[in-house]
Amino acid sequence: MRNQGQGHIRRRGRESWELKFDLGRDPLSGKRKIRYASFKGTKRQAQAELNRLISECASGAGVDPSKVTLAEFLDRWERDWASLNVSPKTLERYTELLRRHVRPHIGHVRIQRLRAVTLMELYAKLLREGQGGNVGLAARTVGHVHRVLHRALGHAAQWAVIAQNIADNVSPPPVETTEVQILQSEDVQGLLERLRDRRGRLLYTIAVVMLGTGVRRGELLALRWRDFDGAKLRIERSLEQTRQHGLRFKSPKTKHGRRAISLPPAAVAELRLHRKAQQEMRLKLGLGKAPDDALIFANWNGEVRSPDALSKEWAACMDQIGMAEITLHSLRHTHASQLIAAGMDVLTISRRLGHGGPAITLGVYGHLYSNTDDKAAAIIEATFT
């Protein structure tokens, strides 16, 4: 039975029908696109379903019936979108999350048959069982899984592979708020004293610079001597390490990541000592004077220092001096907390840290501003007297 020349139904069983309808011409090939769908019910109901499908296609709301599984779509999404639009480090993280926690559980499901409950069940299973063992994943990791799925399915909806992003209707498990590790003033002095007494000053210099500027590990290792003018450090790039691509320099994620940071005198003095020692070492090795584009924190032979290697060296040192809880990132957090305690405004702190905006800074360090309400009341009181 035909329907205005756009489609027809054909009986396949007692109450089963094949619906055939025309989606028009493919804009690239010029060929007509014919689609088929199965339906169970009466002939009248089959006709109504055919009319609905044709109406959806005419309005642009219809989605081509597809047998593509979620895993197959994710393969194409990683290859054709993620690999071209995100950094290698982000791509590596996306790929790992999907490979370990999505494909083994729901990768076989046809993408058009995914439902919100499918994702809810996945998240619950990951929290209970993880990768199939007795230990479940942390809620934070499941949240990462949700975010990468949300992004991929958002593109699937945008490209009309599915009708809507069902991840919009699912919330990831709540993550317990944990305060960032921060050193108090006396802890900072203790850390620096212990590092200063160790053979070599590299980790001591790194600690002074990170405490004095709040730079990230990758930003620190990408610094060149030309980025140091005796009063400021210019952050123009970062060093990234991935399994597939190894080490590479990259531009900051946002325009705020590219910045100039004023240095405290202690950091200036330490950098000058470090440069002098580096020059003496190069001369002993017959490498000559370091050019301006030489890395500040290179390996002994002038080559790039691996971020992972630095973290391992730092962790081993912290174990030896009894401060194992202190990570390199703790130094960045300590820098921010000291500025907040001194009353510096959040916009200045945000720019110094290279955050995308003050909202990010408040999201990380907002709890440190909790003691300012009494000060606000005192300020207002002063206007009454």
Task: Tell me the residue type at 274.
Answer: H
What are φ and ψ of residue 247, in 5° steps? -95, 140
Q: Show the DSSP H helices in 159-201 as ranges.
A: 185-196
- DSSP single-letter state for residue 264: P
Give pairs for 300-305: CB < 8 Å, separation 24+.
304/221, 304/239, 304/247, 305/221
Q: How confident is the model at residue 57 (pLDDT cuts 50, 70, 90)?
A: low
The pLDDT of residue 28: 44
Which distant-in-sequence residues (6+ apart) come within 8 Å of 103 by Cβ? Answer: 70, 71, 74
Superfamily of domain 185-370: Intergrase catalytic core (1.10.443.10)
Q: Of the candidates 173, 138, 167, which has an alpha carbon nearest to the alpha carbon of residue 155?
A: 167
CA dist 234 and 263 (Å) reads 10
Is residue 166 a contact partner of residue 114, using CB atoms and an 8 Å limit?
A: yes
The pLDDT of residue 123: 95
Q: Of the candidates 267, 270, 40, 73, which has an alpha carbon nearest to the alpha carbon of residue 165?
A: 73
Give the pLDDT confidence of 77-100 residue by residue, as tens digits: 999 999 999 888 899 999 999 999
Q: Is the pLDDT of residue 219 over 70?
A: yes
Q: Show the DSSP H helices in 286-372 as ranges.
A: 307-320, 328-341, 346-353, 358-365
Q: Which residues pair with 34 in a beta bridge?
A: 22
CA dist 16 and 29 (Å) reads 33
Q: Is the pLDDT of residue 223 over 80?
A: yes
Decide the pairing of beta strands 16-25 and 32-40: antiparallel
Q: What value does the mean pLDDT take over residues 196-204? A: 84
The pLDDT of residue 61: 53
The pLDDT of residue 157: 87
Give the pLDDT confidence of 114-134 residue by residue, as tens digits: 999 999 999 999 999 866 566
The pLDDT of residue 360: 86
The pLDDT of residue 4: 43
Is residue 265 a contact partner of residue 239, using CB atoms and an 8 Å limit?
A: no
Q: What value does the mean pLDDT take over residues 199-203? A: 83
State the helix-helix crossing angle for 139-158 and 70-77, rounded to 10 degrees: 80
Percent of the chain with pLDDT over 70: 89
Q: Is the pLDDT of residue 278 over 50?
A: yes
Q: How confident is the model at residue 385 (pLDDT cuts 50, 70, 90)?
A: low
- Delimit the CATH 1.10.150.130 region(s) of the chain: 70-169
Give the pLDDT confidence of 280-320 residue by residue, as tens digits: 888 888 888 888 899 999 988 889 999 999 999 999 999 99
The pLDDT of residue 306: 93
Give the pLDDT confidence of 330-381 residue by residue, as tens digits: 999 999 999 988 888 999 999 999 998 888 888 888 777 766 667 677 777 6
Mean pLDDT, all residues of the chain: 86
What kind of fold does domain 70-169 have according to CATH? DNA polymerase; domain 1 (1.10.150)
- DSSP single-letter state for residue 226: G
State the helix-helix crossing angle for 202-213 and 265-285, rounded to 10 degrees: 150
The pLDDT of residue 1: 44
Which distant-in-sequence residues (6+ apart) come within 8 Å of 264 by Cβ? Answer: 212
Which distant-in-sequence residues (6+ apart) come within 8 Å of 73 by Cβ? Answer: 111, 152, 156, 161
- Delimit the CATH 1.10.443.10 region(s) of the chain: 185-370
Give the pLDDT confidence of 159-186 residue by residue, as tens digits: 878 888 999 999 998 877 666 678 888 8
DSSP for 18-75?
EEEEEEEE-TTT--EEEEEEEEES-HHHHHHHHHHHHHHHHHT--------BHHHHHH
Q: Which residues pair with 261 in a beta bridge?
A: 233
Percent of the chain with pLDDT over 90: 49
Is residue 204 a contact partner of residue 195, using CB atoms and an 8 Å limit?
A: yes
Of residues 315 and 34, the one with the higher pLDDT is: 315
CA dist 287 and 107 (Å) reads 54
